[in-house]
Structure formats: structure tokens, C-alpha cells
Structure 1
Amino acid sequence: MTTSSGTSRIVLAVTEVSSTVVVVTWRGAGHITACLDALACQDRPHRTLVIDNASDDGTAALLAAHPSKPRIVRLPRNSGYAGAMDVALSLVDTPLLAWLNDDAEPAADWLGALEDALGAAAAAGARLERPDGATQSLGVHLTADGYGADAASEPVFGFCGGAALLRTDVLRSIGGVPASFFCYYEDTDTAWRLRLAGHDIVAVPSARVTHRHGVSTRPGSRQFHRWNERNRLLTLIRCAPAAVAVRELARFAAITAVLPVRRNVPRAANFRVSLRFQVVAEVMLRLPAALWARRAIGRFATVPRGQVWRNWADR
């Protein structure tokens, strides 16, 4: 309070909001409240945007009743995590955009830790922990065959999409989120394009998030492996050196071809012949769009694809 000529004047401090936290949910009635409660306890001001993928389990009512009053956008159909994030990107008007899974509960200083550690980087990833406290992921590690795997140590190739902070304008400048992926590899593909454009990605172990991994998508299921295998190959076509993309496409097709006559086939769903044929068919159907995206990515890339691969594959 200040005084002037015997009168009182109240001066209100306006705190600038830098980040919008985007939560994508689908049938999240069993866990969305805990996620929003944790966001309401953040020690850094922010906006919360929830994209509801046409949930039919009471999620909409829970969102509408939550005391934090998040902005809610309900989609007419389930567009997956990638599709919903693409919608969110068109709506966000803050400099920073956080990705947060609806089955995640961030610690109170999670967002502040990410904002403070971002520095000149384009993206910062959090530490995802299982409910028992064990570390699930510090980010994404790029394997020698082009899989995006959970990274257990720094430095990281990319961020895990379960909990991360990105610069909104940079994300838009590299083509946004690959909406057609539906689910999985949207984070690896985005991180790869950031690397190609010369941007840094940092891991922030102090930004802790408890993550009930796979509540909606059931890791190990047929759908999980379908999205995982298909989107890995599409990411390679879009982002990897041509020789790597061709090699992995040929390897996937060759393994698929010999499975019917092979003995002792692994029982995992990604070795089912019908699933693998579906993956091949979907990749071929999407190949023209993936090649078009590859050309577009090449136009904004400042680091050669081969250099990114040598720097990060199986590091």
C-alpha cells in the first residue's frame, strides 16, 4: 500500500503466467481428479487446459465440477493423445506449453522446476516415477534400431510426453505435433525434429511426477504394439537418415515374412503375424504423407540427419 496526499492507494502485483499445462484425457474418471488436484497445488502460476477425447465414463462431469475450473475442450471423437495435443497447440497463447498425462500427479514444485531449468533449451523433461517411487523415465533414449526407449540417465535424446515443458513458438516452427500418430512416438518424433532444427532438450530430475503408466492404453496389448511399431517406422521415415529408415522397414518386413514358418516365435503381441501385416499396410498407406513431411522437415533442419543419428543413437 502506498500513500499520497493523505490518500491510500492499493497496488496489485500482476504475476505473469508463462505456461499452459495441457492435460489430455480419455475415460479418465478414475484418475483425472487426482491429476487436477496436483496441478491446483503448483507453486508456479499457470493455466490449465484439458482436452477431453469424447470420454463416456463420467469424466466430463468431474471436469466441470473441479474447483480449479480448468478450461475444458471436449472433442467430438477420440483423437488420441497426439491428435488432442495438436488441437491444444492451436489454442495455447502462453510462451510455454506443458504436456501432462491424465494419470500423472506432479509434485507441487514440478512446473516451477521445469520453467527454471529450461534456460535456452526448447524442451525440458521431468522425472516420471512409478507409484512405489522407482524412476520410470528421465526422458527418451534412441536405440540402435530407432526405438524411443525410457532413459534412465542423462543426457537424454528427447523428453517423455507424459510430463514435459516446451516452447510454444518453437514447437509450432517445427510443424507441431504429429496428430495422425494417435498415440505413442509423438514425443520421440517431436524431440527428433527439435534436434534436427538445432535445439537443445534437457532433463530435469528435480521435476518429479508420479505416473500410473498405461492406465488408458494397456502396455503390452495389441493396440499398444500396433501404435508403437507403426509410429516408430513413420518417425524413422520422417526424421532418420534414409539408409536407417530403409533398413528398419526392410527388417520389419523380413521378420514378418518368416514368422509363419519360424519355430519358437515369441509370445509378445508384436510378433503376431496379423498385427505386423496391419502395421505394414498402415505404414504403406501413410507413406506419401510421411515422405512429404520428411521433405518439410528437411527444409527447416539445420543439423544433418546423419549427425543427429551418430550423436544420439544407442548413446
Structure 2
Amino acid sequence: MISVIIVNYHCADLSIRAMASVQAQAVPHEILLVDNSVSPSEADRLAANLPPQTRLIVSPSNLGFGRACNQAYARARGDMILLLNPDALLHPGCLEQLCKPLLADRRIGAVGPRIFWDSARHYLLPPSIHPGPEQLLWHSMNCRYAGLREYYSQRFRAQAIRLWQRQDPCRVDALSGGLALLSRKALEHAGGLFDEGFFMYFEDSDLFWRLRQAGYRLAYAPRAEASHSYEHHPAKHRLMVEAAPYYYAKHFAHAPRARLANWIARRNQSVGNIELPGTQALGVQRGPLCLPVPEQWQQGWLLEISPSPWLVPAIGQFGQGPQASIAADCWPLLHSGHYYSRLGAPLGKTGQMPVWQWSK
């Protein structure tokens, strides 16, 4: 049986939608819903819409994501654990496809699905990146050395395309804690579910690194499909910045590459423009972004969208035709801030791909 863990925080309608998507799966399961809202009306709405085989745990305070999940994990009865964000949903057959790699190979500790940004499955969320010393070093060197930025950006783009277009399961270095199926046995060998030293963010990076250190593999199952209506919000970035020092100190404090990255970062304070060469400014966008597609790419193009000037990571959309755009239902998920988009052929020699910087 699969124990599905969902943490609600003032998003009852989304949590109800997520639970309904679980109920539509053919695999035996139970749902453990933790409400961190500290709101009687929120708890009442959830209680009135609980599917069968669902237990509601109402927290007396906002425990943070990791502690809330651990509360549910302690009550879970399944030999597999699905972590599911309330703003995510499973598409038909998702759980069945996620189970296959986990049951076929006991060396696999966790499996993630192909994740779309929208429920219509047009926009693909980026592959997860393992935040280790190598990633720190790349970031600090890209800030300082302009020549590396294009290589780094193109390397991630190629890796993302390979995973986005893949049909069979494969090993990966990282997964998203917002949507992953885990072996309970592997979790116990790796020290349990979440380290409660993390309030929110980086607890999943810590977990997946612990699984790898315990000898388990992470897998990507592209035939399992889900959607995650991820909102890009400045408050999330602040929480990530607050959580990062604990994560890196816990795992990589003495790693030579991490120390080198920090040494370079201290000397980057005077660095100016860190955008990719040739980035064009589009200004403030009052409505959904719409870009013209050069004629040579109209038979097949890839649009990337990211808050990063290097487009690492980036949401991707494969398409055809004279225009590439962000759908109206996805536009509200991008809050005020600076964004970057790139357009090019998805395969082969792309030439100089245009990159645009725009604000919302």
C-alpha cells in the first residue's frame, strides 16, 4: 500500500483537488493530510471533503513542511510513501507507473514522475538539480567568468531535453520533494523522512542526498505523469536562502570544491552584468508573454522560461507555429519580478538562440 502525504497551508481547494487525483488511481493507498493553516474554517472545509481512507491531522501551529510530513509519516501504514504537494495532481496511471521501478529494483530508494506546470500538460517543469559543491562552484564561476555562462546554460538545456523527451525510466541525481514516491525501507536505512532542522526548502535535497549516501538510487519514470502548479514568488526565494546554509554546512562544509566556490563568491561582489551574451530587454509585460518564432524554427521549437539569467533551471514548452507564448492560466503563477525566455530548435545545431529579459 502507498501512504500519500499532503501538507495543507491555506489552500484547501488545491488540497481537495490533489486528493481527488489520488482517489482516481487504481493502486491501493491511504491519504494523510496535515493542515498547517491554524485556521478553524480551513480545517472544517478539509474535514467536509475528505475522501475515503483519509486521515486529517490538524496542527496547533505552523510546523513547517518537514515536521508536518514527519507527523504523517509516523502514522503511515504503507510500505511506500508518496510526497504530494497540495498544488500538484496525479494524471491517470501515475501511481502504477511510479511503483514499477521501485518494485523492480530494490536498489532504488525514490522515483519521480514527468512533471508538467499546467494541467493541460503543455509546459514541462525542469529536472531537479542536486545542490552540491559542483553546483556551488558553477554558480560562483559563472558570476565571475562570462565565457562559462553559455556553456553552463547549454549543458543544462541539453540535459533537460533528454529527460523531457525520454520514455523509459532512468537514474537521476535529484528529485523534487513535492512529488516523489519513496521506499519506506530505504527511508529507514537513510535516517528517516525529513530533518526537522529545515523549516521549509532544502529538506528534500537533504533527504535525497541521504538516500544516495546510504547506497540507494534515484529514478525518473517518464510514463508516470503529474502536474504541479508551481508559483514563483519572492517569499519562496527568501525561505530557500534561509535554509541553504544549514544544508551546505551539514553535508559539504569541508568539501574542497565548496570551499573554492565560497572563495570565488567573496570576490564576486564587484561583478556587474551576469546575463547571457546578447540578452535583449523586453521591458514590463502587462499580459501573457507572446514571442514571434523565426521561420526556420516554426516546424518545431522549444520555449524556455526562467527567473535565472542563465535559464538554469527553466520551464520548457515544445511547440510549432509562428508564435510561442505563456498560457493565460499559467501567467498568474509568475509573480512580480524579472524573468528570462529563450527560443530555439529543440535538437541539432540551433545557432544563436535569442534570449529575452522581461519583467512582470
Same fold (TM over 0.5): yes
Indicate the SS of the match to 2:96.
Answer: helix
Q: CA deviation at 1:62?
A: 2.4
- Which residue in the other structure is 1:129 paired with? 116
Please tell me whether the aligned partners of residues 181 and 227 of structure 1 are also in contact (alpha carbons under 8 angstroms).
no
Please tell me whether the aligned partners of residues 29 and 57 of structure 1 are also in contact (alpha carbons under 8 angstroms).
no
Q: CA deviation at 1:81?
A: 1.5
Residues 74, 204 of structure 1: alpha-carbon distance in 2 compared, 3 angstrom cutoff = same
One-letter code aligned to 1:212: S
Among 197, 208, 224, the residue aligned to 1:191? 208
Q: Deviations over 1:56-106 (max 9, x none)?
A: 283312221125141011111112222212222222232111100000110
Paired residues, what number?
A: 243
Structure-1 separation of matches of 2:31 and 2:13: 19
Please tell me whether the aligned partners of residues 175 and 218 of structure 2 are also in contact (alpha carbons under 8 angstroms).
yes
Structure-2 separation of matches of 1:158 and 1:26: 25
Among 177, 196, 218, the residue aligned to 1:179? 196
Q: CA deviation at 1:165?
A: 0.7
Q: CA deviation at 1:252?
A: 5.4
- Which residue in the other structure is 1:145 paired with? 135
Indicate the SS of the match to 2:172.
Answer: coil
Please tell me whether the aligned partners of residues 104 and 209 of structure 1 are also in contact (alpha carbons under 8 angstroms).
yes
In the alignment, is residue 39 of structure 1 matched against residue 22 of structure 2?
A: yes
Residues 58, 127 of structure 1: alpha-carbon distance in 2 compared, 3 angstrom cutoff = farther
Q: CA deviation at 1:21?
A: 0.5
Please tell me whether the aligned partners of residues 126 and 205 of structure 1 are also in contact (alpha carbons under 8 angstroms).
yes
In the alignment, is residue 22 of structure 1 matched against residue 5 of structure 2?
A: yes
Structure-1 separation of matches of 2:20 and 2:96: 16
Structure-2 separation of matches of 1:171 and 1:140: 21
- Which residue in the other structure is 1:208 paired with? 225
Residues 59, 236 of structure 1: alpha-carbon distance in 2 compared, 3 angstrom cutoff = same
**Unpaired runs of 5+ in structure 2?**
140-155, 164-169, 276-306, 309-360
One-letter code aligned to 1:242: A
Give me the TM-score of the superposition, normalised by structure 2: 0.60
Q: Deviations over 1:212-243 (max 9, x none)?
A: 113xxxx341x322222233332222223522
- Which residue in the other structure is 1:306 paired with? none
**Unpaired runs of 5+ in structure 1?**
1-17, 271-315
Q: CA deviation at 1:263?
A: 6.5
- Which residue in the other structure is 2:96 paired with? 112
One-letter code aligned to 2:239: W
One-letter code aligned to 1:135: L
One-letter code aligned to 2:251: C
Percent identity of paired positions between Structure 1 and Structure 2? 25
Q: CA deviation at 1:55?
A: 4.2
Q: Which moved more, 1:233-242 or 1:64-73?
A: 233-242
Structure-1 separation of matches of 2:238 and 2:218: 28
- Which residue in the other structure is 2:329 paired with? none
Q: CA deviation at 1:23?
A: 0.6
Residues 45, 58 of structure 1: alpha-carbon distance in 2 compared, 3 angstrom cutoff = same
- Which residue in the other structure is 1:64 paired with? 47
Structure-1 separation of matches of 2:228 and 2:202: 18
Among 248, 258, 262, the residue aligned to 1:236? 248
In the alignment, is residue 54 of structure 1 matched against residue 37 of structure 2?
A: yes
Give me the TM-score of the superposition, normalised by structure 1: 0.68
- Which residue in the other structure is 2:302 paired with? none
One-letter code aligned to 1:225: H
Residues 220, 33 of structure 1: alpha-carbon distance in 2 compared, 3 angstrom cutoff = closer
- Which residue in the other structure is 2:80 paired with? 96
More strand by share: 2
Structure-2 separation of matches of 1:87 and 1:248: 37
